[in-house]
């Protein structure tokens, strides 16, 4: 008998205030889906995602911000390439947040983030985000504990501001196991076209795996709210990851009361010769 296939958004959503332990075994879950089924459904959803993005762009009242967080090798770039290719680049931007520049360091830590928030009608994808300021800043002791501890509430307030202005915020944590990260790092070292993606400093961060897992767990429990929940996406299997992300995006866009604007002319009177 075939296993029941789980609708993933509800299963992966982090309940507000709940602790979210991260276990390596969970990164490989399939929830009853086979690869063939997942790939077929993901391709079908891409068509619907394109339609809804077009409608949101035309509507012009709502925006969508997608936050992607993951440990090194977690698949953020791959997710953007495989899932967000469904969107028209005219209405979709991708911003990768690296270490802050000297100019950015002269401002508050959210200044550089807010500048890239999506305009009405648009989709913005953040490859890493404001959450780096409670992750790497915490693990590498770049700021006192009291400073980064206060940022959880500040981030929640910032995201509440966005949602109050009709920007839906979708936050995706791509969870991979430590063994999967090892395999992906080795692949980068072995394959010539991927060697540029490997940084020897990645090994230092890999040694900090336990510290990062605790930081991610706090991020998930303290910043998953009813309006802006976190989703923990099992990402060892890329096809399951793409399915889950597509389902979450589709559910979010379908929840918006999108409509095409009425024309500012009477179509019945137009005669094109």
Q: Is residue 121 domain-resident?
A: yes
Q: Is residue 29 domain-resident?
A: yes
Report the distance separating Cα 258 and Cα 253, nearest Å. 8
Q: Is residue 219 domain-resident?
A: yes
CA angle 66–165–108, rounded 5-degree value: 70
> Whole-model pTM?
0.95
Classified as helix, coil or strand, 142 is: coil
Report the distance separating Cα 191 and Cα 169, nearest Å. 36
What pLDDT tens digit does each residue of the chain (273 aa) get?
A: 345 688 899 999 999 988 999 999 999 999 999 999 999 999 999 999 999 999 999 999 999 999 999 999 999 999 999 999 999 999 999 999 999 999 999 999 999 999 999 999 999 999 999 999 999 999 999 999 999 999 999 999 999 999 999 999 999 999 999 999 999 999 999 998 999 989 888 999 999 999 999 999 999 999 999 999 999 999 999 999 999 999 999 999 999 999 999 999 999 999 999
Number of structural domains found in the chain:
1
* Closest listed residue to residue 110, CA positions, set 64, 77, 157: 157
Q: Which domain holds residue 70?
A: 9-253
Q: Is residue 99 domain-resident?
A: yes
Q: Is residue 243 domain-resident?
A: yes
Q: Is residue 43 domain-resident?
A: yes
Q: Is residue 260 domain-resident?
A: no
**Domain containing residue 172: CATH number:** 3.40.50.300
The phi and psi torsions of 95 (rounded to 5 degrees) equal -125, 125
* Closest listed residue to residue 68, CA positions, set 254, 201, 258, 242: 242
């Amino acid at each position: 008998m075939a296993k029941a296939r789980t609708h993933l958004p509800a299963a992966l959503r982090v309940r507000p205030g709940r602790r979210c332990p991260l276990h390596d075994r969970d990164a490989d879950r399939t929830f009853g889906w086979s690869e063939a089924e997942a790939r077929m459904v993901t391709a079908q959803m891409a068509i619907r995602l394109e339609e809804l993005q077009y409608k949101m762009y035309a509507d012009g009242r709502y925006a969508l911000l997608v936050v992607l967080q993951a440990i090194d090798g977690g698949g953020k770039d791959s997710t953007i390439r495989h899932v967000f290719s469904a969107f028209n680049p005219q209405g979709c931007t991708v911003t990768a947040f690296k270490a802050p520049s000297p100019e950015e360091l002269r401002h508050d830590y959210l200044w550089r983030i807010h500048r890239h928030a999506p305009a009405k009608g648009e989709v913005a994808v953040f490859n890493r985000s404001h959450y780096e300021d409670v992750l790497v800043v915490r693990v590498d002791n770049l700021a006192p504990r009291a400073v980064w501890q206060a940022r959880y509430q500040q981030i929640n307030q910032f995201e509440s501001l966005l949602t109050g202005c009709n920007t839906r915020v979708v936050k995706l944590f791509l969870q991979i196991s430590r063994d999967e990260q090892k395999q992906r790092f080795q692949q980068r070292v072995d394959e010539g076209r991927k060697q540029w993606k490997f940084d020897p400093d990645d090994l230092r961060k890999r040694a900090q795996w336990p510290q990062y897992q605790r930081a991610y767990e706090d991020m998930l429990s303290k910043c998953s709210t009813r309006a802006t929940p976190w989703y923990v996406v099992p990402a060892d299997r890329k096809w399951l990851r793409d399915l889950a992300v597509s389902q979450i995006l589709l559910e979010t866009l379908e929840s918006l009361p999108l409509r095409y604007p009425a024309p500012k002319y009477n179509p019945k009177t137009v005669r094109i010769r």
